[in-house]
């Protein structure tokens, strides 16, 4: 396997590397972080070697994952702009930085992949949208890009214009799911259930509902209808959600997220 380098070891970089370790050897990867003590801790945990600089990593790896916050991108790009060549594959995780913007900094002939993973990658259940120009990559390179993101969940290739929508659909939405779980748990604690038990019931129910959508192929509306007996408890709850603007709130959150991303 061609060597894969991670610049940054935050939640996303760490999740990607740990996911890949299930399929690849520790010698297939390198990483950099800002502080050497942190680098030593990661090396001790994973066995993956680290580089002293971003430039060193770029000189040793074909695939370079930019897993740092967008505010750090100008510094990182400056570190590697004289090192990377057309043979490299640059994988960017920044939601608001386009392929054209990266090529402007690194070179018009550089090959860029934009990706938007999410934090459930930390438990192997990530969802990633990836965008790149098919003509610029070989079949083997496309396969490895898929392996990188498939190592910690699902991935789907999308047109770059859809990346802001991907941010809304999967990048930011886990936060809404956590809010829903917390609110639902609070409400059943009010009904007398112990809090720890409430979190387990609510989280597992959301997980199970999501798997029903993915594995049955049924429309979410039909699955919802299947739970709603005429005059029953569930339809009463669904009615209360509608009366209190549940869907309207979701639409509003998505629009705010989309506007910010763009």
Give the tens place of pLDDT for each residue, 61-75: 999 999 999 899 999
- Domain end marker among 161, 187, 214: 161
Of all residues in the chain, the percent with pLDDT exceeding 70 is 100
Let me know: does 3 contact 114? Beta carbons within 8 Å.
no
How is residue 168 annotated by DSSP?
A: I
Answer yes or no: is pLDDT of 215 > 90. yes
CATH number of the domain enclosing 194: 1.10.3730.10
Domain membership of residue 103 as a residue range: 4-161
Structural domain ending residue among the three candidates 139, 161, 183: 161
Largest Cα–Cα distance in the chain?
Answer: 68
Among 175, 66, 191, 61, which residue's Cα sits nearest to residue 118? 175
User: Which tens digits make up the pLDDT trace of 221-230?
Assistant: 999 999 999 9
- pLDDT band at 23, cuts 50/70/90? confident
At residue 11, the pLDDT reads 87
- The model carries a pTM of 0.90
Count of residues in the chain: 262
Which range (45-49, 121-125, 168-172, 215-219) has the least confidence? 121-125
């Amino acid at each position: 396997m061609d060597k894969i380098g991670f610049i940054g070891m935050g939640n996303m970089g760490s999740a990607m590397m740990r996911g890949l370790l299930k399929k690849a050897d520790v010698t297939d990867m390198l990483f950099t972080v800002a502080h050497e003590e942190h680098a030593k801790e990661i090396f001790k945990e994973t066995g993956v070697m680290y580089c002293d600089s971003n430039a060193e990593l770029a000189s040793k790896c074909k695939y370079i994952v930019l897993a740092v916050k967008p505010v750090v991108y100008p510094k990182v790009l400056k570190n590697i702009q004289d090192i990377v060549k057309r043979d490299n594959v640059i994988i960017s995780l920044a939601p608001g930085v386009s392929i054209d913007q990266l090529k402007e900094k690194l070179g018009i002939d550089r090959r860029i992949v934009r990706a938007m993973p999410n934090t459930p990658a930390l438990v192997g259940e990530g969802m990633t949208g990836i965008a790149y120009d098919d003509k610029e990559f070989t079949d083997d390179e496309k396969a490895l890009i898929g392996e990188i993101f498939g190592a910690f969940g699902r991935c789907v290739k999308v047109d770059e214009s859809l990346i802001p929508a991907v941010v809304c659909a999967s990048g930011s939405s886990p936060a809404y799911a956590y809010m829903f779980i917390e609110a639902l748990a609070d409400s059943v604690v009010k009904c007398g259930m112990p809090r720890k038990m409430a979190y387990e019931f609510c989280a597992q129910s959301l997980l199970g509902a999501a798997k029903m959508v993915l594995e049955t192929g049924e429309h979410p509306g039909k699955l919802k209808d299947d739970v709603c007996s005429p005059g029953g408890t569930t339809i009463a709850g669904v009615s209360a959600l509608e009366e209190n603007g549940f869907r309207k709130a979701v639409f509003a959150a998505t629009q705010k997220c989309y506007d910010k991303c763009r």
